[in-house]
Structure formats: structure tokens, C-alpha cells
Amino acid sequence: MIQFFPNAQTFVLFKIGPLTFDIRWYAVLIMTGALLAYFLSRKEMKESRYVSMDFYDSLFIYTLWVGVMGARLWYCVFYNFSYYFSKPFEIIRIWDGGLAIQGGIVFGALFAYWYTRRQHYPFMKFVDMILPNVMLAQAIGRWGNFVNKECHGGEVAESYFNGILSFLKEGMLINGHYYEPLFFYESMLCLLGWYLIHFVLRKHQNKRGDLAYAYLMWYGVIRFFIEGRRTDSLYLGNLKMAQVTSVLFVIIGLLGYLGFFNRYLKKEKPTLMFDFDGTLVDTSKAIQEGYRALFEKYSDVSLFTEEVKQKVLGPALKDLFPIYFPGLDYDMLYEDYHKRQFEVAPVLNQPMPNAVEVLKQLHEEGYHIGVISTRTNDGIIDVSKPFGLDEYFDDICGLTDVKNLKPDPEGIINMIEKNGWNKECVMIGDSMMDIGCGKNYGAFTVAYVNNPNRVEELSAAANRSIKDLKDLLPILQEDIAYTWNEK
């Protein structure tokens, strides 16, 4: 038999023979808040693009369970340690009540730190997206305290509830006395904090971690003062544990917001993905000469105009051959094109200014360097080897390594997954195809603008634009989130 709303605390009651199961309003409200935080955070994860939704779903489920267990253990330790120590099986009787949200935050955060680092995701990026939404979940979950007639202050007169608090009056009548509705004040302050952090501070975020640290400060302050008026607190000796934890939250949040931890916490370097042609090596003249030879042999060289010369720089041969040489055999065209390029390469190909020096420095500083190109791997090595560039490549993704070429992010994803590199990525390239590839992955994009005709287009599309590869170095020293939306 199923019975809805059998009493004020119970949402639904199941009776199966002699067995009885129930779902409390407290649990319903907590899960409602958790799911709302999940969907809001998931939306932000999608916007950042490089986060796998499967990973996020796993992170949410595992962290939720660890958080609930942490909240329960926190309660048991600081409510009546000797009782639960002597009766350990009572600890699992979570249905009897007893969760401490601060314990859930601490244990959940520790697990999330371990799990994100294990999967090569940046922990602070995740807490910036998730913690403010946890505050919204707390605002909803606090109404479970109203249902359970807990989280209240001392006795107050009946007149206390006249006016806007009148709807709380009946619920705050406990054993013939009225009590101050502290749960309500905390719920409203959590809601206000979520709004200010999510909609105001987020627009002016200066560095990674700002939103998480703001959460700790805001919640720490309101919980400290709310806890000072509660009559059902958990204690550490003569101290209210929630107040002790709140002070720590505020201290950690303030120091973090001021950048104190940056000098102690080693930030994992983002993965660097470079386009090849036009970014590391100036192959434009050799590419154009290869096409010119094909136009001369198979078409009309007069059709190889200045406009066409620009269009052949970037796209894959397999995409352009059918346009300019329809019906002709690809392998035949490729053989003639490659032969002519090979002949002129020693004279026409040159490394881009400062390319060798920049790659060498990045390699020495410990960055993982990948190259993603529409050339074949052999073609990349053949062109880069004379200049010593290939010594600094950690991996290459060429034409035959993927099913989908740029701007599809398949090449970036494959290299990062194969090598276990940091999933935060900076994509550096000289074309809209490169910038699109980075953005489709969720990478921070840097446009290398070496063509005066592309300045406006590339600068508008990328996170940053540079005119010299050495200008990439100071960008990598900035304390920013290396994702396409920068937040």
C-alpha cells in the first residue's frame, strides 16, 4: 500500500506486508536542491565544452554519496561520539536523522579534488562552477529543517511572527512554544549569496577560484552568526563546531581570494596544441608552388589567382582537390603536388620568427606540446626536421590519424586522452579552422595573426591574438582559466 503525506514529516509511506518504508520530506528537499545544483552546474560544464559529460555525471554521483557519508560522520562525531563509537551500526541509520552540511562540504571537496586530479581536470575550475550552485541547494534543503522542526533559535513571543513571517508561525510552534526560525534566515541568505556570486561576481571574476572562495566567505559568515543563535548545535568541547568550521571557511576563502595560496599550490600547466603550416613553419610559398604546378599541368595557370593563392592555405588537400581539379585521381594529384613541394621546400620553407626559440623554452619548462595538422605525419616531420622543431613535439596528429579534420576537435581529444595530458588546453593557430577546432574542444584559443588580411577576423574569434610567437609566453604566465570562455 502506498500512502502519500501520512504526516507532516513524511512524503510517502510504503507498506508491504509487515514491512514499512517511508520517504521523508527532508530527503525530498535535499535531493531537489542537489538535482537543481547538478543541472545548473551541468549547463556550465557544457558551456566550457572540454568537460566530458560522462565524467561530470560520475563526479556528481560519487561526490554526492561521499558528501552524504561525510555529513553523517561529522554529525556522529560531534553530536555524541561516545554513543556512536559504542554502537557503530547506528551510524548507518541515516533515516533517523543527523546530517551536518559542513562535513558534507569538506568530505565532498576532498573527494572531488582527488577525482578531478586523477582524471587530469583542474579542480578549481570545477569548484568555481559547482560550489555557488551548492549554496542554492542549501537554500532549498534548509526547508527540510522547517518540516522537521529543527535548526531554530530560542523561544520568541507569538507576536514575533506577525507580518511577513506569519506563514512560518504554525511550523515554529514546538511543544507549545514558538521558536526563532533560523533555518529561514539561513535559507534566504544562501539564496542571496548564490545570486550575488552566480550573477554578479561571476561577470567580474579576475582569477580562478574567486567564486569558490567567495562561497566559503559568504557561507562562513552567515553560518557563524546563525549558529550563534541555534539551540541544537554540535559541539567540540565548549565550542560550537559549526562556528569553528565557519571561521576556517572565512579564513581560507579570504586568503584564497587575495591569492595567498597561489605561491604554494602548483598549478598544472595547460596542454599546448599548435597548428603547423603558417604557425610553426612558413610553408605558404611552398604550398602555393605545389598548387601552381598542378594548375599548370592539369588546368589553366591563369586561374591560380591571388584570391585562390590565399584559399589554398590551410584546408586539407582532399577537400580542395575536388574543387579545383574535379574528376582527377587524388593519388596522382598528391604525388605531383608532393614532388613539387619537396623540390622547393629547402628554398621556400622557413620556420616562423622565434618558433624554434619559443618551442625550446616551452619544452624546457615542462609543457606538453602537440601538433595538429592536415598534413600527414611524415610530411610534418619532413618539413620540421631541417629546423630542429621536431625535437620539441611530444605528439603529432596528422591527416591519417583522425576521421574528422579541423575544425572538429577529434585530434585534440585523441592526443590528450592517449597521453594522459592535462585536459585544459591552449590552441595556437593562424586560421579560423584552427580557432574553430580549439573552441569546439573548449580550449583557450590564441590566434597567431601573421597575415594583415586576417587581423580583424581572427582577433574577434579567438581569446587572444598575437603577432609574434614569443608573445605567447606572457599569456601562459597569467592566472586565468585556460578554456574558451575564460571562466
Residue 82: pLDDT above 80? no
pLDDT of residue 252: 93
Residue 114: pLDDT above 80? yes
pLDDT tens-place string over residues 308-328:
988 888 788 888 999 999 999
Residue 467: pLDDT above 90? yes
Residue 79: pLDDT above 80? no
pLDDT of residue 338: 83
Mean pLDDT of 351-356: 95
- Which residue would you say has higher pLDDT here, 198 or 362? 362
Q: What angle do CA 158, 160, 162 make, to 5 degrees?
A: 90
Residue 9: pLDDT above 90? no
pLDDT of residue 418: 92
- Which residue would you say has higher pLDDT here, 164 or 5? 164
pLDDT of residue 35: 92
pLDDT of residue 213: 93
Q: How confident is the model at residue 15 (pLDDT cuts 50, 70, 90)?
A: low
pLDDT of residue 364: 96
Mean pLDDT of 248-274: 87
The three state secondary structure string of the chain is CEEECCCCCEEEEEEECCEEEEEEHHHHHHHHHHHHHHHHHHHHHHHHCCCCHHHHHHHHHHHHHHHHHHHHHHHHHHHHHHHHHHCHHHHHCHHHCCCCHHHHHHHHHHHHHHHHHHCCCCHHHHHHHHHHHHHHHHHHHCHHHHHHCCCCCCEECHHHHCCCCHHHCCCCEECCEEECCHHHHHHHHHHHHHHHHHHHHHHHCCCCCHHHHHHHHHHHHHHHHHHHHCCCCCEECCEEHHHHHHHHHHHHHHHHHCCHHHHCCCCCCCEEEECCECCCEECHHHHHHHHHHHHHHHCCHHHCCHHHHHHCCCCCHHHHHHHHCCCCCHHHHHHHHHHHHHHHHHHHCEECCCHHHHHHHHHHCCCCEEEECCCCHHHHHHHHHHHCHHHHCCEEECHHHCCCCCCCCHHHHHHHHHHCCCCCEEEEECCHHHHHHHHHHCEEEEEECCCHHHHHHHHHHCCEEECCHHHHHHHHCCCCCCECCCC
Predicted TM-score of the model (pTM): 0.75
Q: How confident is the model at residue 37 (pLDDT cuts 50, 70, 90)?
A: very high
- Contact between residue 226 and residue 185 where contact means Cβ atoms under 8 Å apart: yes
Mean pLDDT of 364-375: 94
Q: How confident is the model at residue 164 (pLDDT cuts 50, 70, 90)?
A: confident
Residue 360: pLDDT above 70? yes
Look at 299-313, 411-425, 427-441, 473-487 and tell me which has the smallest mean pLDDT: 473-487
pLDDT of residue 368: 97
Residue 396: pLDDT above 60? yes
Q: How confident is the model at residue 280 (pLDDT cuts 50, 70, 90)?
A: very high
pLDDT of residue 486: 59
Averaged pLDDT score across all residues of the chain:
86
Residue 94: pLDDT above 70? no
Mean pLDDT of 93-108: 77
- Which residue would you say has higher pLDDT here, 353 or 4? 353
Residue 153: pLDDT above 90? no
- Which residue would you say has higher pLDDT here, 127 or 51? 127
Mean pLDDT of 320-338: 91
- Which residue would you say has higher pLDDT here, 80 or 191? 191
pLDDT of residue 6: 65
Residue 162: pLDDT above 80? yes
Residue 233 region, left (φ>0) first, then alpha (ψ -120 to 50), else beta?
A: beta
Residue 487: pLDDT above 70? no
What percent of the chain clears pLDDT 90, i.e. is strictly above it? 41
Residue 452: pLDDT above 80? no
Q: How confident is the model at residue 3 (pLDDT cuts 50, 70, 90)?
A: low
